[in-house]
Structure 1
């Protein structure tokens, strides 16, 4: 049985310079504008049999603005950043530079006391693998960019370190087809 899962990256909630770990803000003014601009392309995804979102304010607001009426999925939350929650990478680097280096180099490490990158990718993979597989069924889920990156790494069975090399822009989509343990990345044409 094959299911089609479309992951939509949540709207922008802050500039890259003020982005914080586990930030739970609603979309900013630019984010709302981008949702309105992308709506003609994304609203048709509302036809999916199952509609989910991460439990974050930004993901819920993005999904609701697109008319998805989603069910929040705790498994779609971003990586648990432990004591670094609410801080910027610059702030953490200024105080714990060695811990940041370890975190970036070793996907099994969690110097912040939260979740390791490897555990995060595995959690997102487990969520993908446990989606109800109604043959030909479709699912849409709105989540933070980090979740979309983790899903891509999982599906491609790529080394966890490749997570850092994937750039997921707000409101971009990742389409996956398949079933538990057997996923394909589906690139779509603009037409």
Structure 2
């Protein structure tokens, strides 16, 4: 397993070891002991799986403290552009975004610490997206930032006429008007 730094404190790219042969492949997508040995000590309490089609943009989502969630995300099938925005006021990367292509092909995972907004866009025909959370979902603390906030300048790699966005995500405030407490 390899860990790569992103330039954002505690935001890590993880490449699990993949064993391939004529039958296909095997990889261990999560092993608490191995992750702990590498300094990743999150205690994950909820697993989620979403299915989406090409053009879907989900996000940017987060939960306020004390229900903030760290996430370990990866793609089971297909390909996405995964995007995070640092909402930690004392961070050197506060207000900056980071994006990465995650796919079944590259097998990469992204460890997103608490204090980040998260979203993704689907750039393959369909996607199965899996993520572990270190805190349970709490609707009362759920927040979001407008996916196309010009201040953030996120390139979702989806043409505007092909984008599929929920009504809820279209109504999130801009970064400057969002509520966060990290």
Smaller-chain TM-score bracket: under 0.3
Q: Which has the higher contact order (CA 8 A, sep 6+)?
A: 1
- Larger relative strand fraction: 2
Give the TM-score normalised by structure 1: 0.24
